[in-house]
Amino acid sequence: MAFKQELDLYLQFVKLEKGLTQNSVVSYKNDLERYFRYLTTETKIGDLSGVTLSHIEDFLNFLVDEELLSASSLARNISSIRGFHEFAVVEGITKANPAELVELPKKASKLPEVLDRDEIEAILDTPDLTTNAGIRDKAILETLYGTGMRVSELTGLEQDRLIFEIGFIRVIGKGNKERLVPVGEIAQDAISHYTERVRPKFFNPEKAHKAKNKVFLSMRGSALSRMSIWNIVQKASEKAEIEKNVYPHIFRHSFATHLLEGGADLRAVQEMLGHSSILTTEIYTHVDRSFLHQVHKEFHPRA
């Protein structure tokens, strides 16, 4: 990959000097790899000194128009790009920072896409429960939808955080913030079925030091990665013939929206999602209103 040496130096810097978590380093890496791919394929630039503000703005517009990134993801990409170019100047790789004046592209607020109840049921019914992998995948899908947890929270979930005797899971979220999330009987049964009958078969003592006490393991005994979860979700959505773009986070969107559709209190949903601000949770009230509008249009005689 072009710019690989510069990227490796920067990632080492943010990890060692700035003390970022491994998840944050991976996010920086993913953002910048996509940025460099764009520069290489769309601009044919092979040297950092040739990058201009115009190139960066074109890339951000590409993210808006083609990748449909959220405002928060765009802001993170800008932060990644700015930080990298600042580093390049300090290290003497380039003389100027073309990202210094970059601004967030203007974009209408985009409501999160959600799955309706039938689509959720179709996906949850896809795993083959006659196989060990199917039992595990069923537990993963039920957990994503049943708790609304982030995929990074799911991959980091450990067995001692399953407190089923009181119907909760202890989730460690962003910034190591802990919250208790209620989990229903269906998800509990799916998780218990997996942990009791399948996980012991997947457990590999040689990989125990890395997998530690993680709930969800690969068939070889290593802890599942976020990409592994993405692949499981993709496989299930394709099997269910869902036409929407289905990814792990859509279960979180659907979890929140379905709770609000059912009359749940916004503050309670905020606590379950682990949002530090109620404003973040309020986006789902807009999704809920669109659902109400749809119901009104479909069933009211004068709609």
- Chosen domain end from 75, 90, 105: 90
Average pLDDT, the chain: 87
SS3 content of the chain, % helix, strand, coil (to 5): 65, 5, 30
Q: Which of the residues are catalytic?
A: 150, 174, 249, 252, 275, 284
- The answer to whether residues 44 and 172 belong to one domain is no
pLDDT tens digit sequence for 289-298: 666 566 657 7
- The answer to whether residues 70 and 147 belong to one domain is no
Give the model's pLDDT for residue 112. Answer: 76
Q: What is the CATH number of the domain that holds 68?
A: 1.10.150.130
pLDDT of 28 above 80: yes
Residue 58 forms part of a structural domain: yes
Among 64-73, 180-189, 225-234, the least confident range: 64-73
- The answer to whether residues 205 and 126 belong to one domain is yes
Distance, CA of 147 to CA of 112 (rounded, Å): 18
Among 207-211, 244-248, 268-272, the least confident range: 207-211
User: 180 φ, ψ to 5°?
Assistant: -100, 125
Residue 181 sits in which domain range? 117-299
Bigger pLDDT: 46 vs 272: 272
**Region 130-157: what's the mean pLDDT?**
96
The three state secondary structure string of 277-301 is CHHHHHHHHHHHHHHHHHHHHHHCC
- Chosen domain end from 90, 125, 156: 90
CA distances from 229 to 30, 249, 284 (A): 17, 11, 24
Residue 104 forms part of a structural domain: no
Which residues are CB-neighbours of 158 under 8 A, at least 6 positions away? 212, 213, 214, 215
- The answer to whether residues 174 and 241 belong to one domain is yes
- The answer to whether residues 155 and 42 belong to one domain is no
Bigger pLDDT: 132 vs 109: 132
The three state secondary structure string of 33-55 is HHHHHHHHHHHCCCCHHHCCHHH
- The answer to whether residues 23 and 137 belong to one domain is no
- The answer to whether residues 272 and 123 belong to one domain is yes
- The answer to whether residues 15 and 131 belong to one domain is no
**Region 31-40: what's the mean pLDDT?**
89
Residue 218 forms part of a structural domain: yes
Residue 44 forms part of a structural domain: yes
Residue 99 forms part of a structural domain: no
- The answer to whether residues 159 and 277 belong to one domain is yes
Give the model's pLDDT for residue 108. Answer: 46
Structural domain count of the chain: 2
Q: What is the CATH number of the domain that holds 254?
A: 1.10.443.10
Residue 52 forms part of a structural domain: yes
- The answer to whether residues 34 and 142 belong to one domain is no
Model confidence at 49, in pLDDT bands (50, 70, 90)?
A: confident
pLDDT of 107 above 90: no
Cα 180 from chain centroid (whole Å):
20
Quote the percentage of the chain above a pLDDT of 90: 51
Residue 111 forms part of a structural domain: no
Distance, CA of 190 to CA of 195 (rounded, Å): 9
Residue 252 forms part of a structural domain: yes
- The answer to whether residues 244 and 129 belong to one domain is yes
Quote the percentage of the chain above a pLDDT of 70: 90
- The answer to whether residues 135 and 246 belong to one domain is yes
Nearest CA to 109 out of 138, 139, 70, 141 is that of 70
Among 13-22, 160-169, 245-254, the least confident range: 13-22
